[in-house]
Structure 1
């Protein structure tokens, strides 16, 4: 029976749609199948280039250059270039971006490692028409050699999603001008680079709904200024000064990793209206008289560095008493998760805990799920804190206490089971292979 090429008989529009779902390199190779396929790929509105070859970036940029010369689609919906090797010619990059903007691109992603030379580092500048794109909706820029130099007349009227990952800004005001000219921006992700030339990163975007910010350089003196009243979701991971964070009345969820030895309560007051809060801290001393009237889910990851990790200003002493003050000021809390992550070198450090004179209202009438992960069991104070929550949580449905170490496991588990629980119908989980409930 003769072979019938049913795919080639399909309409051009359907073939273009099929080729849009595969990497551009694979789409281009279809031109060798027959004359029928020769120019179909040139009408594909989505171009995606991934450098996975062992040859390095040269082969990638040759493909990009040649395919753009042959490309005929009047509108380019998306252009994505992801290179695993260093690029070789910044003019190629600028030409690609300029072509995409001229063809009304909606989604643009440049994920390119920088070229490290022994004498002069490579610098990548974007073309001038990029900063006045009237069609861009989603933009991702990731390259430590990319210098963001925003002109005064920049404008991105439709841009909704922006990711700035390890890029360099020409000066302190470049990122401010960029954000100020994105009136529709709703999602922003920033991953700071050690040489990005910005000391104070300012985010004042009224339309912003979600913001993710990462700053891993412990040596840099940097701060974040955040004033975006429309925020609903916030993720911050910072080793430095959180500076000024304010005006978030509609915040729903917040993940904050504030890894400084002795955080003050100024940054924590900014989250008083949040409904779901996850904190990763080295100390809970910042829990003082801050009210959280809307908080329903809270996870605390209390982190202690290993003995080999030097953290200036870090105190080995830790008190859990501020945690109870926190519970007093969270009247409708339903889910409480505590992960006390200490290394073996810190298991015998002092841990302060004193019996409280009054019981937090959330324990008496709202708390339903309680999790203590990495429970040590060796310190009286840690045990008494868990026992206190068991004995006073009248609405508790599930209590999960997972031991940190395997040694003395049976003894620790039996001790946990012996603790009095005022909610007799609550389920107790103590197995290390259990799923930790986070609500």
Structure 2
């Protein structure tokens, strides 16, 4: 212990920041050197999930009051069955005196059946917050002005909003004037939000996850974020997503949408009327990297469609990303308008049958194969007739192709050697193309 005590205060405080607060406070009994050190710890973690209610509340109250650090970098509450709603305003006021920068309020839904209600003081008193995470809690409406002037990162996971939630969400986000990162996880109609509107000019990153296990036709997202650089939406339940304006700064987007009305989704995303299943009337001139999942049958049709509307594509990856039905995945970098996971209910798909003769017509070869595609990576190659013809078509038409890497799924050595031989003998549009097998 003497050797540990010889370390500088800054290093000791970093070590203590990794421990729950009950252990941090207990260090005051080690020696005079440690008596007041715990009061300056910059990151505090309070975990009441397995504590006695009265003892925990008293401990938290006193430790926050005695805490002397001028700035609390992070204050993390892991709340369980012992936490009382009336305690939260006291804790928030006590923490606010140290200008807390990051706050996490996380309810353990398994240990506590009733949710925690976040007090109104959070909206008005924590003006120095830069990062806020709310997990499994209830928010109440506030007649006073919501004010987060410094908030740059906001995480809302399984939050129940005051009814009606649509207007509350608009008010909450509109008062986060410098917000850059937003993460939202929704699980169903009980959140009181029908249309989740994200209209924040400063946003650079959005992650939206919708986990409901059944489809609700009248629920939707509206996104208007002209400064957005990163977008990820995971929704396998048909919640409609509407992107109101272009996002010229977008660098990457990953959108997973399971939907039986792809024309409706595309119309919302592209702002163009769509009659066809796939976006044949759209063009993605900024798309340089594309990943398509080969788990389900329509991937061949979607691949050909996307190649035709992506004239500057450089990197193409085919992979079994999901290994489940109704999911196709597209990764776009960068792109103004994006869409994916389109599985039509009624559509004829070729799998082990020869591809249509139009694939062999030079006039229909996608522009990207002739002028821009440089890399092909195919993971989980099964060696079906359709798969081999797609590979041969790309090798034959890829005038700029530099490398094609094939990862075979089969464990049959003879079958694998046969596939390698067949693809190796395929004509290549690029003399410098390197064909690799694994």
TM over 0.5: yes
Matched residue pairs, number?
Answer: 395
2-structure distance, mates of 1:21, 1:123: 27
Q: Which residue is 2:72 aligned to?
A: 76
Q: Is the 8 A contact 2:266 2:279 kept in 1?
A: no
Inter-CA distance 256–250: structure 2 relative to 1 (3 Å threshold)? same
Q: Is the 8 A contact 2:242 2:268 kept in 1?
A: no
User: What is the CA distance between 1:261 and its match in structure 2?
Assistant: 3.9
User: What is the CA distance between 1:38 and its match in structure 2?
Assistant: 1.7
Q: Is the 8 A contact 1:90 1:123 kept in 2?
A: no
User: What is the CA distance between 1:174 and its match in structure 2?
Assistant: 1.6
2-structure distance, mates of 1:90, 1:156: 22
2-structure distance, mates of 1:344, 1:113: 30
1:327 aligns with 2:307: yes
Task: Report SS of the residue matched to 1:414.
Answer: helix
User: What is the CA distance between 1:182 and its match in structure 2?
Assistant: 0.2
1:176 aligns with 2:170: yes
Inter-CA distance 323–13: structure 2 relative to 1 (3 Å threshold)? closer
Q: Which residue is 2:330 aligned to?
A: none
User: What is the CA distance between 1:50 and its match in structure 2?
Assistant: 4.7
Of 136, 145, 158, 2:129 maps to 136
1-structure distance, mates of 2:12, 2:299: 65
Of 359, 365, 381, 1:359 maps to 365
Unpaired segments of 5 or more residues in structure 1? 273-283, 305-316, 432-439
Inter-CA distance 26–397: structure 2 relative to 1 (3 Å threshold)? farther
2-structure distance, mates of 1:43, 1:332: 55
Of 363, 376, 382, 2:382 maps to 376
Inter-CA distance 78–365: structure 2 relative to 1 (3 Å threshold)? same
Task: Report SS of the residue matched to 1:169.
Answer: coil
1:64 aligns with 2:60: yes
Q: Which residue is 2:240 aligned to?
A: 242
1:162 aligns with 2:168: no
1:292 aligns with 2:299: no
Inter-CA distance 383–129: structure 2 relative to 1 (3 Å threshold)? same
2-structure distance, mates of 1:267, 1:101: 46
Q: Which has the higher contact order (CA 8 A, sep 6+)?
A: 2
Task: Report SS of the residue matched to 1:371.
Answer: strand
Inter-CA distance 373–102: structure 2 relative to 1 (3 Å threshold)? same
Inter-CA distance 10–254: structure 2 relative to 1 (3 Å threshold)? closer
Q: Which residue is 2:329 aligned to?
A: none
Inter-CA distance 20–420: structure 2 relative to 1 (3 Å threshold)? same
Deviations 1:30-50 (A, max 9, x none): 111123322221232321235
Of 80, 84, 87, 1:89 maps to 84
Q: Is the 8 A contact 1:289 1:325 kept in 2?
A: no
Unpaired segments of 5 or more residues in structure 2? 327-348
Q: Which residue is 1:254 aligned to?
A: 253
Structure 1 or 2: more helix by fraction? 2
Q: Which residue is 2:429 aligned to?
A: 422
Q: Which residue is 1:318 aligned to?
A: 298
Q: Is the 8 A contact 1:88 1:115 kept in 2?
A: no
Inter-CA distance 256–342: structure 2 relative to 1 (3 Å threshold)? closer
Of 171, 177, 182, 1:188 maps to 182
2-structure distance, mates of 1:419, 1:103: 69
1-structure distance, mates of 2:389, 2:38: 68
Matches within 5 A, 1:4-153: 5=2, 8=5, 16=13, 19-20=16-17, 22-50=19-47, 55=50, 58=53, 63-82=59-78, 86-114=81-109, 122-132=114-124, 133-143=126-136, 145-153=137-145
1-structure distance, mates of 2:430, 2:267: 32
2-structure distance, mates of 1:34, 1:243: 59
**Comparing 288-297 with 108-117, which one deviates more in the overlay?**
108-117
Task: Report SS of the residue matched to 1:90.
Answer: coil
1-structure distance, mates of 2:173, 2:32: 48
Q: Is the 8 A contact 1:109 1:140 kept in 2?
A: yes
User: What is the CA distance between 1:219 and its match in structure 2?
Assistant: 1.3
Of 403, 409, 419, 1:412 maps to 419
Matches within 5 A, 1:270-289: 270=269, 285-289=277-281
Q: Is the 8 A contact 1:340 1:375 kept in 2?
A: no
Normalising by structure 1, report the TM-score.
0.80
Q: Which residue is 1:202 aligned to?
A: 197
**Comparing 353-362 with 171-180, which one deviates more in the overlay?**
353-362
